[in-house]
């Protein structure tokens, strides 16, 4: 999910060869609900932070069939987490 428009998500998915749809949160409702939206109005007054304002943080969530968040990780915009960390959580849900 991202705060980008559907067309941007589609282009991103095609570039990466993804075969599943990406969700758009252009209203930023889900990003805000999950606490991953840069929405502090003070950011709009800081030239270094303006590019982040109203953008989503980089975050991963694993949600089980009952809708319970089993894993959550929020990182800096350029930071990635190893796939094996997420795969381990998914394996534990089986």
Q: Are residues 4 and 48 in the same domain?
A: yes
Q: Are residues 14 and 28 in the same domain?
A: yes
* Cα separation values, 49 from 10, 15, 33, 43, 79, Å: 27, 28, 21, 5, 17
Residue ranges of E strands in 1-78 = 58-63, 69-75
66 within 8 A of 46, measured Cβ to Cβ: no
Q: Are residues 6 and 43 in the same domain?
A: yes
Structure confidence at residue 80 (pLDDT): 78
Q: Are residues 22 and 47 in the same domain?
A: yes
Residue ranges of E strands in 8-79 = 58-63, 69-75
The residues, any chain, with a CB within 8 Å of residue 39's CB and separated by 6 or more, are: 28, 32, 53, 54
Q: Are residues 6 and 33 in the same domain?
A: yes
29-76: pLDDT as tens digits: 999 999 999 999 999 999 999 999 999 999 989 999 999 999 999 987
Structure confidence at residue 85 (pLDDT): 87
Domain span including residue 16: 1-56
75: nearest Cα among 60, 86, 87: 60
Number of domains the chain is built from: 2
Residue 77 clears pLDDT 80, i.e. is over it: no
């Amino acid at each position: 999910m991202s705060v980008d428009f559907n067309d941007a998500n589609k282009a991103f998915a095609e570039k990466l060869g993804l075969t599943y749809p990406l969700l758009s949160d252009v209203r930023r409702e889900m990003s805000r609900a999950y606490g991953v939206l840069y929405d502090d109005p003070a950011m709009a007054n800081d030239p270094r932070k303006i590019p982040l304002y109203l953008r989503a943080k980089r975050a991963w969530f694993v949600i089980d069939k009952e809708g319970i968040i089993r894993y959550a990780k929020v990182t800096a915009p350029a930071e990635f987490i190893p796939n094996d960390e997420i795969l381990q959580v998914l394996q534990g849900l089986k």
